[in-house]
């Protein structure tokens, strides 16, 4: 039997963790580094960060956030959103990222 893994996913917007339903009525729930440390203390196996506005706003990925988190926790980190090219990928890897979520227009063109 495969072991169950705990992999929380944090929705991040402009460097802050947000919660909402279908990305509507987003509420600020805290600092990503503090929340990541709390999840590690509770036994999370990995942590996923989704920058929920970076792609639509054509912003870069949350490299600074990942640098801070990677300096505080010891678990695999994954990021999605705001990864536009190989340079963005390399910056995240240097910041401490293990995995990256890359999707290029999965449902056609987005305006």
Sign of CA dihedral 55, 57, 63, 64: negative
Give how far Cα 56 sits from Cα of 60, 78, 82, 110, Å: 11, 19, 8, 9
Residue 35 in any domain: the answer is yes
Residue 37 in any domain: the answer is yes
Residue 43 in any domain: the answer is yes
Residue 107 in any domain: the answer is no
Residue 83, domain extent:
9-18+28-101
pLDDT, tens digit (0-9, with 9 covering 90-100), for 29-71? 999 999 999 999 999 999 999 998 887 888 888 899 999 999 9
Residue 86 in any domain: the answer is yes
Residue 106 in any domain: the answer is no
Residue 39: give its domain's CATH number. Answer: 3.40.50.12600
Between strands 24-30 and 77-80, the pairing is unpaired
Q: Is the pTM of this model over 0.85?
A: no
pLDDT, tens digit (0-9, with 9 covering 90-100), for 3-38? 899 999 999 998 999 998 877 788 999 999 999 999
Domain total in the chain: 1
């Amino acid at each position: 039997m495969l072991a169950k893994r705990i992999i929380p996913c944090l929705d991040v917007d402009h460097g802050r963790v947000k919660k909402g339903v279908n990305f509507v009525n987003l509420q600020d729930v805290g600092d990503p580094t503090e929340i990541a440390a709390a999840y590690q203390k509770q036994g999370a196996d990995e942590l996923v960060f989704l920058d929920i506005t970076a792609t639509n706003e054509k912003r870069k990925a949350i490299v600074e956030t990942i640098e801070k988190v990677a300096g505080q926790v010891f678990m695999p980190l994954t990021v999605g959103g705001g990864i536009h090219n190989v340079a963005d990928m390399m910056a995240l890897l240097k910041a401490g990222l293990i995995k990256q979520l890359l999707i290029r227009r999965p449902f056609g063109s987005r305006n």
